Amino acid sequence: MPLNLQKNLPAVEILKKEHIFVMDSLRASEQDIRPLRVVVLNLMPLKITTETDLVRLLSNSPLQVELDFMKIKGHQPKNTPIEHMREFYKDFDSICTDYYDGMIVTGAPVEQMEFEDVTYWDELKVIFDWSRTHVTSTLYICWAAQAGLYHFYGVPKYELPAKKFGIFKHTMNDPYLQIFRGFDDEFYVPHSRHTEIRREDILKVPALKLLSESEEAGVYMAMARGGREIFITGHSEYSPNTLHDEYIRDRQKGLPIRIPENYYKEDDPSRPPLVRWRGHANLLFTNWLNYYVYQETPFHIEDIRNLGDL
């Protein structure tokens, strides 16, 4: 999908080298169409890495997308230059009167804390509530999925005895659903988390539909409001080396970490990872944008406030 991005965003040059089509704001201004508006609330510590991963998956479609990045007000990340945040990120206060066709909320390194103990929890709840009247469909990833399920539906999270870390096989509970268009019967997803949500808690909530699970990794995907809210517990957006980088980082910090499961060839960290999730990841984001954003959003974007469940 041609993405309308600021010309000097680092992801633009990185992805051009991969022959992925991205469009800077100058070229986009020459196209007389209404682009889809998508906002990313990026809570991950390595902002530029996450930006690049998401732009890679949101690209390569005939439609034009105008992408904004949102940050938590007053929270300065330690691993991203302040100049980058000032140039490319907006506070919620500056966009709270805007409407977006889609929103993505990323994971965050706070999953072992109680939700209410997260310093920006109150602001996050306001953003979540705002999305219901200002966004056609929101995709919640990893910790954000747990946070959204807890905030809207009271679904708890549980501490795992050890970090769920690796590539795991998943199946679909409703393979004819549009989010799964083109999926194989079994597909792989990266996971990297210390907590989980449980299927029995999802099934207790009539408003939630459990879409996908894994024998090893548990709940993967749930949906609410006909697709206006989609919750995924894994990291389909991860690039090939992300789990490797996390593994090396945790080892260097002396943290208890096992070799990521089903990831390295022959479980040998000196060998490259076997990438088995890229096709699924591209289908997931393409299907979300097509069936739950583009085909459902009103022509006049402000009419989003009048949308009910899809």
- List residues with catalytic annotation: 142, 235, 237
304 three-class SS: helix
pLDDT of residue 12: 59
Q: Count Cβ atoms within 10 A of the Cβ of residue 83 and give its class: 0-12 exposed, 13-18 middle, 19 or more buried.
A: exposed
Give the pLDDT confidence of 180-218 residue by residue, as tens digits. Answer: 999 999 999 999 999 999 999 999 999 999 999 999 999
Give the model's pLDDT for residue 308. 85
Token output for 242: 């992300």
pLDDT at 34: 74
- pTM beyond 0.85: yes
Are 234 and 241 spatial neighbours (Cβ–Cβ below 8 Å)?
no
* Low-confidence residues of the chain: pLDDT under 70: 1-33, 60-62
Q: What is the number of other CB atoms lying within 10 angstroms of the CB of residue 307?
A: 17
**Among 22, 10, 139, 28, CA closest to 85:** 10
SS3 for 249?
A: helix
Q: How far is Cα 160 from Cα 195, in angstroms, rounded to an integer?
A: 5
Burial class (CB in 10 A: 0-12, 13-18, 19+), 108: buried
- Among candidate residues 227, 225, 146, 232, the one with its CA nearest the CA of residue 189: 232
Residues 6+ apart with CB under 8 A from 29: none
Is residue 101 within 8 A of residue 135, CB to CB? The reply is yes
